[in-house]
Amino acid sequence: MRTIIPAAVLTVSALLAADVTVIRNGTIHTVTKGTFKGSIVILDGKIADVGEKVMTPAGARIVDAAGKHIIPGIIDAHTHIALDSINESSVSVSSMVDVTEMLNPESISIYQALAGGVTVCNSMHGSANSIGGRNVVFKLRWGADARGLVFDKAMPSIKMALGENPKRQGSPQGLQIPGLASPQNLRYPGTRMGVEDVIRGAFTRARAYQREWKDYETRKARGEKLLPPRRDLELEPLVEVLEGKRLIHAHCYRADEILMLIRVFDDFNIRGVTFEHALEGYKVAREIAARGHAASTFSDWWSYKVEAYDAIPYNAAIMHRNGVLVSLNSDDAGGAELMRRLNTEAAKVIKYGGLSEDEALAMITINPAKQLRIDRWVGSIETGKDADLVIYDKHPLSIYSKVEKVFIDGRQYFDRDEDMSRRPKIESEKEGLRKKVLEQQKQAAPQNRRPS
């Protein structure tokens, strides 16, 4: 019995987007096709046309963007927002869990991130495990249910983690679970060597599992009557990785561990991995680029732990110059904080490393889109792509800019003016409800006082 989503839920956004919108006379930062003053035609949620001169269909909704700047919706390749649980930290391989089912569409972080121009994010499992759980890419369609948020065109992925976090439970100082302080409860691994072993071991088991099923299918096809192998939800996602059907986002800091993982992946013929944080990626940028792996990093974080002590704000620039596909992420978990100013985070790669405006904007739009394998649909302002757009009042790389409107699939999900005018209404509704509840309590009171 598969769960069926009401058809209405699925089509609401499509119906609302069926009309035509034209965003006129703004400075359009397409990211991939230059920056110019022009207009964008949105039809059925897609960018139907973009250019200095466009045809405005009759009856189109006009959004005047004179003096404003438009960029593609920001994509945050690494967050943990809107998840009711993030980290199945009890085991070193937690690939059986999927944060998709923890997606909470009511989390206010979604709206806050939206108000910062983010339209897509990759919300991930935590970093307590050498191999973590499965992640979810979703569009910030505030108001939709969990299924309505999920960007199902994105390739499935899984989290991995190297270094201090996955080995913490393997050290007596790190083990802080009450009642578990005894040595036999230490969780392997406790060293970077052990982290490699766990990963290598897991993929070795996955290979054997893959073979076991293949053997079974072959023999079954020959008409043999035999017991199928036990299905293993831990290994199935890893088999998908081996088959190139599932991406890897690997949390890492130090150059040595990045190189280690590259070599493990070489052995298992795993390509197209995104190294997350990769704060020492600049030291092995060449090796990352040589295998076509990518990196998603911070603009200027450092020194919060030992493995971040060699972090430099020039990391993104060096990796980029070495041919690594680089994105900037927020790693936001509790609330959407850094997410809503990824535009100015991008500006930092201009300050530190001297990259161009387009290179900077690419790191929060088209590059993360490529890393998530969604660049066919999002990440730049191009005809045919989803109309995920952000209108800023000033240049988006300026700290003085602010987001005025955000469109996802052509539908306006954030409007600063609307937000402002809604504020007093929220307050008055709350006041009304407080009064109502008080009155109901008064009415119920005599009944409750009756002796029983």
- Footprint of other proteins on 213-242 (CB under 8 A): 225-228, 230-234
Binding track over 141-180 against other proteins, x by CB under 8 A: ----xxx-------------------------x---xxxx
Nearer to other proteins, 17 or 128 (CB): 128
From 31-39, 43-51, 380-388, 435-443, give the range in contact with other proteins by CB under 8 A.
Answer: 435-443
CA dihedral 312, 313, 319, 320 (to 10 degrees): -170
In the block, which residue shows the tokens 């923890």? 102
| Shortest reach from residue 334's CB to other proteins, in Å | 7
SS (H, E, C) 403-417: EEEEEECCEEEEEHH
Nearer to other proteins, 102 or 261 (CB): 102
Nearest C-alpha neighbor of 163 from the set 250, 246, 229 = 250
- φ/ψ (deg, to 5) at 111: -65, -40
Nearer to other proteins, 86 or 137 (CB): 86
From 19-27, 61-69, 79-87, 154-162, give the range in contact with other proteins by CB under 8 A.
Answer: 79-87
Nearer to other proteins, 13 or 401 (CB): 401
Binding track over 272-301 against other proteins, x by CB under 8 A: ----------xx-xx-------------xx
How many residues sit in the footprint of other proteins (CB under 8 A)?
105
Nearer to other proteins, 60 or 333 (CB): 333
Q: Which of 10, 18, 62, 108 binds other proteins (CB under 8 A)?
A: 108
Determine if 442 is a binding residue for other proteins (CB under 8 A).
no
From 30-38, 70-78, 109-117, 379-387, give the range in contact with other proteins by CB under 8 A.
Answer: 109-117
For residues 325-354, which are near other proteins according to CB under 8 A?
334-338, 340-341, 344, 347-348, 350-354
Determine if 306 is a binding residue for other proteins (CB under 8 A).
yes
Structure-token pair, residue 306: 């030992």
| Shortest reach from residue 417's CB to other proteins, in Å | 13
Rounded distance, CA 14 to CA 319, Å? 40
Rounded distance, CA 241 to CA 354, Å? 36
CA 71 to the chain's CA centroid: 18
Q: Which of 10, 16, 185, 376 binds other proteins (CB under 8 A)?
A: 185
Please give the single-letter amino acid code of residue 316.
A
For residues 412-431, which are near other proteins according to CB under 8 A?
419, 423, 426, 429-430
Nearer to other proteins, 53 or 230 (CB): 230
User: Pairing mode, if any, of strands 247-252 and 274-277?
Assistant: parallel
For residues 7-46, which are near other proteins according to CB under 8 A?
none
Determine if 450 is a binding residue for other proteins (CB under 8 A).
yes
From 26-34, 265-273, 369-377, 439-447, give the range in contact with other proteins by CB under 8 A.
Answer: 439-447
Cβ neighbour number for residue 8 with a 10 Å cutoff: 8
Structure-token pair, residue 15: 């119906």
Determine if 55 is a binding residue for other proteins (CB under 8 A).
no
For residues 114-143, which are near other proteins according to CB under 8 A?
115, 133
Nearer to other proteins, 36 or 309 (CB): 309
| Shortest reach from residue 450's CB to other proteins, in Å | 6
| Shortest reach from residue 10's CB to other proteins, in Å | 13
